Amino acid sequence: MFKPKIIVLLFLVVGLAWLPPAGRAQMVMGQYEEEAPVGTWNIFGPMGAAALGLGETIFTRADDVSVLFANPALMSRLPSLAVSLGGYIQSASFFRYGPVNSGTVSTVGNAGLRTAAADMAAVSVRVLGWRLGLGLGLSEVFDRPSVEARSSQPYYLFSFGQTGYLRTLNVSLGREVAAGLSLGLGFNLVSGRWEWKMTDAWSGVTITDTRRRDFQGHYFNGGLHWQASASLGLAAVFRAPFQRKASSHSLLQYGAQAANILIEADGQDAFRQPLVLGLGLDWKFLDRLRLAGQVSYWNWSSYEASLFGEKLDRDFQNIWRAGVGLEYMSGFRLFQKDFDFPYRVGLVYDPQPIRSPHSSYLSFCLGCGLRWQGIRLDLGAIMGAENGSGWHLTANRLALTLTYSAGPGPGNG
């Protein structure tokens, strides 16, 4: 029974490696507005591969220590000591962003961007009945495909690039307060950097526009988890609204033989992030088959953005996001050792906050894992198609999470 499992795993890895370069793609306004992350606007936090493959269900399942970014109450469902490391590969397609397809330069079809990163490291430990968690994750990326256009006769050069990231440091505390009922609260520090550079040069004249933004902010997240029975778990979560602030610097430079003009400015930017509320369930309705599902409410109508003190027009609407997944637990025996091998499949409906045109992703998820004693290795993928923008965007992401655990714990099994 060992060989079929390996074949399935290799098929998933090789198949995703051959996917075309179109990934966690940007949305209508999301491609044009510089503060938009690469991917959906609806990013709750770093996520493990098991949850990704199970319809991005992160509120009720304790598959790895990334739970502290979503619902720290789930730390009570982990063994006494657990450590998780995660990484991902993603590709993204873009149509309109910055000066591209907005008046300055045009592309034939969508531009592509491919990225890879180690995006999560987290640990959970039990101390005197409490669960303490510490995690560092890459929560958002602001990169854009770089662009360069040039000619020699007459001389002309245009280039554009944008990079950026946001990381989250989470410190969480959780406890089982009654039989089967756990509570958890997390404090999150966010930091990061965003950079933009555009150059326009012709016949001895060069105009360079450089901008930089250094992020900082903090917020609380938390939730509860109720193990109603051996087969049913329920959860409720929140992420508090907060201000993501940034110290900004702008430099506009005009260079020519007769003059060199510099215009510098410093200011404060702010981006008000929305309140998020969510509900989730985990139901083992057959001996080897379980269902996970969740819904979340995003209060995007409260979103505000300002650059150098000037408020920007961002007319967003509140949205509901949903994910559902199935997991089948298989197993095999090798070298007189028992291994568990879960298969996962899921769907995600992910509407974007832009009012017009109405745009959303429908994503299909796949995943599998390998468990042996205290070691877990999970592989998850999401493949989505966007509807509404008219640009035929797609969304693909492949994630891998390794978890080591020791000591007793109820877990999800």
Integer angstrom CA distances of residue 104 from 156, 158, 159, 412: 13, 9, 11, 53
Question: What whole-number distance in Å separates Cα of residue 146 and Cα of residue 154?
Answer: 23
Q: 280-334 pLDDT, tens per residue?
A: 999 999 999 999 999 999 999 999 999 888 888 888 999 999 999 999 999 877 7
Residue 155's pLDDT is 84
All structural domains of the chain = 2-146+167-191+215-240+273-406 (2.40.160.60)
The three-class DSSP label of residue 262 is strand
Over residues 10-45, the pLDDT tens digits come to 334 334 333 433 334 444 555 568 888 987 899 999
pLDDT of residue 208 exceeding 80, the answer is yes
Element (H, E) at 367: strand 360-372
* Residue 12, phi then psi, degrees to nearest 5: -65, -45
Handedness of CA 59, 65, 68, 73 (dihedral sign): positive
- Over residues 195-202, the mean pLDDT reads 93
The C-alpha atoms of residue 124 and residue 173 are separated, in whole angstroms, by: 9
Question: Quick one: pLDDT at residue 180?
Answer: 93
Mean pLDDT of 142-149: 91
Higher-pLDDT residue of 257, 188: 188
Taking only Cα atoms into account, the Rg of the chain, rounded to an integer number of angstroms, comes to: 23
The secondary structure of 7-54 as a DSSP string is HHHHHHHHHHHTS-S--S---HHHHHSTT--SS-S---S---HHHHHT
Q: What is the pLDDT of residue 31?
A: 59
Q: What is the pLDDT at residue 393? A: 80
- Mean pLDDT on 78-88: 97
Residue 344 has pLDDT above 50, yes or no: yes
Residue 203 has a pLDDT of 84
Spatial separation of the C-alpha atoms in residues 60 and 281, rounded to whole Å = 6
Band (pLDDT 50/70/90 cuts) for residue 412 is: low
Whole-number pLDDT of residue 334 = 74
The predicted pLDDT at position 39 comes to 76
**What torsion do the CA atoms of 135, 50, 300, 312 make, to the nearest 10 degrees?**
70
Higher pLDDT, 153 or 409: 153
Rounded-to-integer distance, Cα 192 and Cα 207, Å: 27
In sequence order, the 6+-apart residues with CB closer than 8 A to the CB of 259 are none
With bands split at pLDDT 50, 70 and 90, how would you rate the model's confidence at 394?
confident
Share the mean pLDDT of the chain: 88
Cα→Cα distances 408→63, 94, 103, 259, 341, Å:
15, 47, 61, 72, 21
Least confident of 52-61, 105-114, 275-284, 300-309: 105-114
pLDDT band at 409 (very low <50, low <70, confident <90, very high): low
Residue in the structure block whose two tokens are 């303490």: 132
State the DSSP code for 359: -
pTM, two decimals, is 0.88
At residue 266, the pLDDT reads 94
